Amino acid sequence: MSGDVLTFVQGCAGRIRLNRPKAIHALNTGMCAAVLDALAAWEADAAVGAVLIDHAPAPDGDPKYSRGFCAGGDIRVIAESGAGDGRAAADFFRVEYQMNHRLFEYPKPIVAFMDGITMGGGVGISQPARYRVATENTRFAMPETGIGLFPDVGGGWYLSRLPGHMGEYLALTGHRLDGAECLALGLASHYLPAAALDEAKARIAAAPAAIEAVLAELSVEPPAAAVLARQGDIDRHFAGASVEAILASLAADPGEWAQAALAGLRTKSPESMKVSLRTVHLGRTAATFAEEMAREFAVATRVVRRPDFVEGVRALIVDKDNAPKWNPATPEGVSGASVDAIFEPLPEQEAWKPA
On whether the CB atoms of residues 238 and 165 are closer than 8 A, the answer is: yes
Rounded alpha-carbon distances, angstroms, from residue 325 to 51, 200, 272, 308: 43, 47, 13, 8
- Strand order of the sheet with strand 5-10? 5-10, 13-18, 50-55, 110-114, 131-134, 190-191
* Residue from 49, 68, 72, 73 carrying the catalytic annotation: 73
**What stretches of 145-184 adopt beta strand conformation (E)?**
177-178
Catalytic residue status for 144: yes
Catalytic residue status for 311: no
d(C-alpha 303, C-alpha 272), whole Å = 8
* Residue from 144, 181, 271, 311 carrying the catalytic annotation: 144
* Residue from 72, 116, 121, 179 carrying the catalytic annotation: 121
On whether the CB atoms of residues 268 and 172 are closer than 8 A, the answer is: yes
* Residue from 152, 181, 296, 311 carrying the catalytic annotation: 152
Catalytic residue status for 152: yes
d(C-alpha 271, C-alpha 330), whole Å = 8
**Which of 72, 76, 93 shows the shortest CA–CA distance to 24?**
72
Rounded alpha-carbon distances, angstroms, from residue 160 to 20, 122, 170, 179, 306: 30, 18, 10, 20, 25
Residues noted as catalytic: 73, 121, 144, 152
